[in-house]
Structure formats: C-alpha cells, structure tokens
Amino acid sequence: MKAVFLLQWRRFYRKPLLVLAMFGLTVIFVSVTAAGGQSGPQMIPVYADESMNNQQAQTWIERLNGEEQFQFELMPESEARSYVAEGDVSQAVNLLEADYRLLVGREDPARFALDSFLRRIYSEELRLENAEQTTPGIRAEMESALSDPALTLSVESLQGEEDSFQYNGQLQLLFGMTLFFVIYTIMFSLVRIVDEKRTGTWSRMIISPVRKWQMYLGHLGYSFLIGFSQITLIFLLFRFAFGFELGDRFWLLIAIAACYTFSIVALGLLIISLITKPQQLGAVIPIVATGMAMVGGAFWPIELVTNEILLAVSKALPITYGLQALTSVAVYGNGLKAVAIPLLLLLGFGSICMAIAIRLMEWRSAS
Amino acid sequence: MLETQQLTKKFKDTIAVDDVSLVLRQGESVGLLGPNGAGKSTAIAMISTLMKPSSGDVKLNGKSVLKKPGEMRRVLGVVPQKIALYEELSAYENLKFFGRLYGLSGNKLEQRIDYVLELVGLADRKKELVKNYSGGMQRRVNLAAAMMHEPEVLIMDEPTVGIDPQSRNHLLETIRKLNQDEGMTVLYTSHYMEEVEKLCDRVYIMDHGKVIAEGTKEELKAILSDQETVLIDFDQNYPELFTKLSEIEGVQQATAEEHSLKLIIPKGTRLLAALFHEAERYGAQVVNVNVQTPTLEDVFLRLTGRKLRD
C-alpha cells in the first residue's frame, strides 16, 4: 500500500498542475467575489419615486430595518444608481407604494436572499394595511399583543436554534466554492485508476504480491489526502490571511471537511466504476460536480430554493450535508451535537458508494 | 516447474482458450507461437494469475496456484504486450516503484535497479522520463520492470512489437543471456517465427484457442520431413500461371506472393519439368528456383492453412 501511495505523490510532483489549478481557482474566485461582501449586514441603497412621499419612505425603511439581515439606507435615486454603477454594491431597491423593484448591477447570490426578504416584509405589511381598512386599530392591538404575549413558545431542534435563516455571503462563497472545486481535484485524481487499467500498470500490480485492497487504499488514501489538504489549506488561508470569521470551532470544520472528502472520494470511485473510459469521465465529472453544486447549495443558499423536487434531490447529495454542517458551525456557532447527523450521513453515503463501487469494479474485471 | 492442465477460458459465447496444457521445465526456454487472436495473451493472463480460468488448473512445482497465487506471483516476472509504465516518471522511478511492490528497499533496491538498467543498456539514461524514450527503449524498461524481483520464470507477451531492429536485437540478446547464462525459465510468446526459432528450445503452436502442435523445433519441422518447400521467383505476377502450378499433381500447399510462388511438395516430386513447361506456355520468365528445408512458418502454414501474421 505504501508503495502505491508514495507513487501517487511522486506523480503529483511531476504533474501538479491540476491540483494547483483547483486550489488557485478557489482562492481567486472566493477572494475576488467575497472581498466585496461583508460578514455583517449588507448595506442596500433604497430610493423612492414620486408615488411615495418622504414620510412614507421613512416608514418603510424603519419597517425594513426592523430585522438585522440587511441595512437599508434611503437616498436620492441618482445616488443609489451611482452606488450600483460604480460597483460599490451589487443591488439597490426602488420602493413603490405596494411593490418594489430591484436595481441589479451584477449577479450576487445575496439577491435571492434580498428578494425573498423584501417579498416577506411587503406581504406582511400589505396584509396588515388591508386588515386596518376593515378593522381600525388592529395594528396597535397586534403590536401590543406581540410585546406582551399570552403564551411563549420556545422551539429547539437537534440542529440547534436555527429558527431564522442567517445569510453570510462571505462564508457561503467560501464554503460553496471550496467544496465545489475540491470535487474536481478528488475525482480527477481518481481517474488515475482508470488510466492505470488502460495502460496496464494496474495488471502489473495485480500480479505482484501487493493485495488488491492495498492498491485501492494507496489510491484512495492519496485522493483523500489531496482533497482534504486542499480544503484545510483554503480554510486556513481565508481565516488567517483574509480574516474571514469562521467561528470558534475550527477543529470541527476540519472534521466536517474530512467526512465530506471521504464521501466525495467514494462517490468518485462509484463514478469511475460505472464509466470506464477516461474521455467519458472528462465530460461526466464536470457535469456531476456542477450539478451537485447547483442543487446542493454551493452557488446560493439551499434555504432559498423552494422547488420541492430540487430540495428532495439535494437530500441525496453529500455537498448539501457538507455545506449544512459547515454553515451550522461557522455561521450559527453550533457544536458537534448539532452536526452529528450530517456527518453520519456523509460517512454513511461514502461507505455505501465505496462498497458498491469496489464490488462493481471487481465484477467488471472478473467478467 | 510450471504447468497448465486443460486450461480453458470462455467469454460468453467465445472460447478464447480451449483445453490448453503446457509444461515449462526449469531453465528451459519455451515459445508460444500463434497468430493474433490465437489465445496466447489470454493463456498468459491465466498463467500469471491475472485472470481466473473457466476450468483447468495452473500448477507451480506441483501445487495449484489458483486459490493461493502468492507464491506464483513472487517467482514470476511478466513482460506485458503493452508498455505498462508510468510515462511521466523516469526509468529509475518506475523501477523503484516496481521493486517496492516486491518488498525491496534500501541498498538492495538501489543495487537491483542498477543491475537491471545495466542489463537492458539504459544505465546512463535512467533519469530521463519514460515518455521521452524511443519505443525500443520503453520496451527495454518494460522488461527491466519485470526483472526487478529476480524472478525464476519470465513470461513475455510479444515483447518486441513495434520496435526498431536494433532495439529488437538488444532485447532478444538480453533474453537469450537471461536464459542461457542465468538459467532463467522463459515462456516467450510471439507471432514472429524467427524470434521463436532463435530463442526457444521447445515450441507450442496455438490457433483458435487450442494447442495444435508442440515439440522441439526439430520435432515440429519433422512434421514436414517428407516434404520440401520450393520457392519460385518470376519476373512479374502471373495469377493464372500460379493457379495452374498449384494444381500440379503432388502440390500440397501453394502460397502466392507478388512475383513469387511457394509450393510444399512431397520429396522426390518431379516438379521442374512441369514448371518450365507451364511457364513457357504463359510467357513467364523464371528468375530463381530455391528448394528449402521446411521452417516453423511452413509447419504453421501446413497445420493451420494460414500464415502467422494473417
């Protein structure tokens, strides 16, 4: 096993480009895209048109700033447009009497969160206004009831007290892109097994005293280590060099990275057991990686997805659980107990994939 | 030392190897001869424990290796038909890896690498990447990798395919040395008759998955001992004349090749008179007539009705 494992590092030393490219792409992508993001509430310029007077606009601003997710600032339209045009912010909001418009300068995953937030607040406020027309004073009654509730309900779950979705653009990008790019690193390193079978070096190893499980372990150990190192180094880099706030439990993030890497190594092995031609793998791996990242919440928070089918599919993807666990620890400050289930799911997913993959490969080579 | 008993391999409806029994005695050099698709590589894959037979057995020193292949894998060196090396690594790095697979390390590993590189004549270029070597040099490293663990039996599956004559001669000379000077047992597979004639003491001829003949080179040639081969060269191609000549009484086999015709006839057949008579009738000029003793190629032709490289 040691010989096979060391050989992979020697080959990496000779051909390091792919791994370095994936590492570099993650760093560039996250640093360029997330540098403009903030870990605190995001400032959103707001302007109102003639349909609304200043008093009304101020009322809306107070209502919108009632929650801490975004910080809305009222300003003249020209100033708001200038913010967007110069790229200081990616979007601004145009308040209308019973609706709103988004002025979008560049694509930003936070747009979905902003849109969802505005829709919720507008919907609540407009319903309340409608109710006031038939029942005057209902607003005051409701506010009074909310400040002195007859019953207090406390909800806790195994996942912690995530009773409301908190969006952290920087960490969403960091985790999403890191877990996305590492899929390429791991899967392309596993393609070596297919390549060895094609060139005949695999057969050479089989007829040596080295056992088959040792051959697999040498390859999988390398793929695991290269993927795990990539995630760890990126987390370290962004924590210490870029000052990203990753919470107080860095060791738990590393443990999550290990479980996620294991599941991706196993998934990669399953894919190469199903598809045996390197050329086909070159096409399949990007499809799998991008598809998983899109559905699993690497490009935008899974909390924003409302399609039931996509949500159901996401439950079968390791990246969903990896991101869920990382966010739970870094954004919500949860501990091991809260991420135990995603971690067990990752390990279980990996074990099942690996068992099927090795059986399939052996069955193929025997037939 | 090594034997196969009624070795058979079936793939769905195809029988790739059919009831093949071979024997390799210690120190001898045995050729396995056959055209492409004869089943040689499949037979070798089973002997080297790479593939399980559908039926039959492979024995090393009387013990079956099918369930416990460990001992066989230690004594066997296999040179595959493909160049099975890591081309992005140097020859030295490749050999180091293959040596480690067999548990070699430290000084012993380094000494063995030096020895095999010397043997294949690449000691001075060991640091170069394999992808930068010529095809012949890659074939030599392919052989060296199989030699790293000092195997007692060396199995070679068409090791000279696609290489230049100089590298081919070097490789054949190395194999001859290993067999004659170091007493290594060799099973050499090829469809190049002259290589087998040069290297091997005994020969098995395979066709369509079966062994159709076996024996020493002399024994095999004796199959045609009451026959002789007549090679006639003409000034140009005469298809009709060639057909006519192949129908002469006594001609057992006729093979036309551009301007020449090869006939296998019983010894003592009076051919020349009829040959010149027919040549005159067709206005053909006979350039050369050569009466030869049969080669293994002729034996193969006689046994299978086709050429080795068909």
Distance in angstroms between the alpha carbons of the first and the last residue of chain A: 25
Are B212 and B255 found together in one domain?
Answer: no
- pLDDT tens sequence across A213-242: 889 999 999 999 999 999 999 999 988 888
Q: Does residue B301 lie within any of the structural domains?
A: no
B93 with A10: Cβ contact below 8 A = yes
At residue A92, φ and ψ (nearest 5 deg) are -135, 165
Instruction: Report which DSSP code applies to A41.
Output: P
Q: Does residue B243 lie within any of the structural domains?
A: yes
Q: What is the pLDDT of residue B214?
A: 87
Chosen domain end from B198, B221, B244: B221
Q: Does residue B72 lie within any of the structural domains?
A: yes
For residue B186, give the H/E element and its range.
strand B185-190
Distances in whole angstroms, Cα of residue B158 to Cα of each of A57, A202, B10, B214, B306: 86, 19, 22, 19, 20
Q: What is the pLDDT of residue A245?
A: 84
For residue B203, give the H/E element and its range.
strand B202-207
Helices (H) and strands (E) in chain A, counts: 14, 4
Mutation for A interface: B11, B97, B142, B156, most A CBs within 10 A: B97
A200 with B84: Cβ contact below 8 A = yes
A55 touches chain B (CB under 8 A): no
A209 with B70: Cβ contact below 8 A = yes
Q: Does residue B120 lie within any of the structural domains?
A: yes
**pLDDT: which is higher, B223 or B57:** B57
How would you class A125 by CB atoms within 10 Å of its CB: exposed for 0-12, middle for 13-18, buried for 19 or more? middle
- pLDDT tens sequence across B163-204: 888 888 888 888 888 888 888 999 999 878 788 888 888 999
Nearest CB neighbour to B102, from listed A7, A201, A208: A208
What domains can be seen in chain A, in order of their start residue?
2-36+168-366 (no CATH), 42-144 (3.40.190.10)
Q: The domain spanning residue B276 has which CATH number?
A: 3.30.70.100
Long-range contacts of residues A247-250, Cβ cutoff 8 Å, at least 24 apart: A247/A329, A247/A330, A247/A331, A247/A333, A248/A333, A249/A329, A249/A333, A249/A335
Chosen domain end from B203, B221, B239: B221
Are B22 and B129 found together in one domain?
Answer: yes
What type of residue is B100?
R
Q: Does residue B303 lie within any of the structural domains?
A: no
Per-residue pLDDT for B301 more than 80?
A: no
What type of residue is A8?
Q
Are B199 and B235 found together in one domain?
Answer: no
| Nearest of A136, A268, A272 to residue A198 by alpha carbon | A272
CA quadruple B91, B94, B98, B104: dihedral sign: positive
The first and second tokens of residue B78, run together, are 């296999």
Chain A: give the shortest CA distance to residue B194, in Å. Answer: 27
Are B211 and B249 found together in one domain?
Answer: no
Write b or e for each residue in A278-295: b if 16 or more Cβ atoms lie within 10 A of its Cβ, otherwise e.
eeebeebbeebbeebbbb
What type of residue is A325?
A
Nearest residue of chain B to residue A195 (CA atoms): B86
Are B187 and B246 found together in one domain?
Answer: no
**3-class state of residue B126 by DSSP:** coil
Mutation for B interface: A191, A207, A364, most B CBs within 10 A: A207
Per-residue DSSP letters for A123-169?
Answer: HHHHHHHHHHHHSTTHHHHHHHHHHS-S------BTTBS--S----H
Q: What is the pLDDT of residue A162?
A: 47
Are A41 and A67 spatial neighbours (Cβ–Cβ below 8 Å)? no
Beta-carbon contacts of B234 under 8 Å, excluding residues fewer than 6 positions away, are B241, B259, B260, B261, B279, B284, B285, B286, B287
Q: What is the pLDDT of residue A67?
A: 75
**3-class state of residue B289 by DSSP:** strand
**3-class state of residue A100 by DSSP:** strand
Q: The domain spanning residue B133 has which CATH number?
A: 3.40.50.300
Nearest CB neighbour to A206, from listed B50, B102, B103: B50
Q: What is the pLDDT of residue A362?
A: 79
A13 touches chain B (CB under 8 A): no
B100 with A201: Cβ contact below 8 A = no
- B-facing residues of A in 141-200 (CB < 8 A) are 199-200
Q: Does residue B307 lie within any of the structural domains?
A: no
Q: How many whole angstroms separate alpha carbon B265 and alpha carbon B291? A: 10
The mean pLDDT of B53-63, rounded to a whole number, is 91
Q: Does residue B38 lie within any of the structural domains?
A: yes
Are B179 and B281 found together in one domain?
Answer: no
The first and second tokens of residue A134, run together, are 């038939």
| Nearest of A255, A265, A301, A241 to residue A115 by alpha carbon | A301
The rounded percent of chain B whose pLDDT value lies above 90 is 35
Q: Does residue B310 lie within any of the structural domains?
A: no
Q: What is the pLDDT of residue A231?
A: 94
Beta-carbon contacts of A239 under 8 Å, excluding residues fewer than 6 positions away, are A246, A250
Are B216 and B235 found together in one domain?
Answer: no
| Nearest of B42, B60, B62, B40 to residue B52 by alpha carbon | B42
Domain of residue B191 covers 2-221
A207 with B89: Cβ contact below 8 A = no
Residues of chain A with pLDDT under 50: 160-163
Distances in whole angstroms, Cα of residue B218 to Cα of each of A155, B224, B292, B294, B303: 94, 10, 15, 10, 16
A17 touches chain B (CB under 8 A): no
Are B47 and B194 found together in one domain?
Answer: yes
The first and second tokens of residue A35, run together, are 């540098």
How are strands ordered across the β-sheet holding B29-33?
B76-79, B153-157, B185-190, B29-33, B202-207, B210-216
Are B103 and B215 found together in one domain?
Answer: yes
**3-class state of residue A212 by DSSP:** helix
Are B88 and B233 found together in one domain?
Answer: no
What type of residue is A356?
I
B73 with A366: Cβ contact below 8 A = no
Instruction: Report which DSSP code applies to A240.
Output: I
* Total domain count, chain B: 2
What is chain A's Cα-based Rg?
25
Chosen domain end from B221, B240, B269: B221
Distances in whole angstroms, Cα of residue B35 to Cα of each of A41, A123, B40: 76, 81, 9
B89 touches chain A (CB under 8 A): yes
The first and second tokens of residue B73, run together, are 């894998």
Residues in B closer than 8 angstroms to A208, CB to CB, are 73, 98, 101-102
Are B267 and B118 found together in one domain?
Answer: no
Chain B: give the shortest CA distance to residue A234, in Å. Answer: 28
How are strands ordered across the β-sheet holding B2-11?
B14-24, B2-11, B55-60, B63-64
Are B59 and B149 found together in one domain?
Answer: yes
Residues in A closer than 8 angstroms to B87, CB to CB, are 199
The mean pLDDT of B75-85, rounded to a whole number, is 92
Instruction: Report which DSSP code applies to A118.
Output: H
Beta-carbon contacts of A21 under 8 Å, excluding residues fewer than 6 positions away, are none
Looking up tokens 């909800």 gives A155
- pLDDT tens sequence across B206-228: 888 999 888 887 787 777 667 77
Distance in angstroms between the alpha carbons of the first and the last residue of chain B: 33
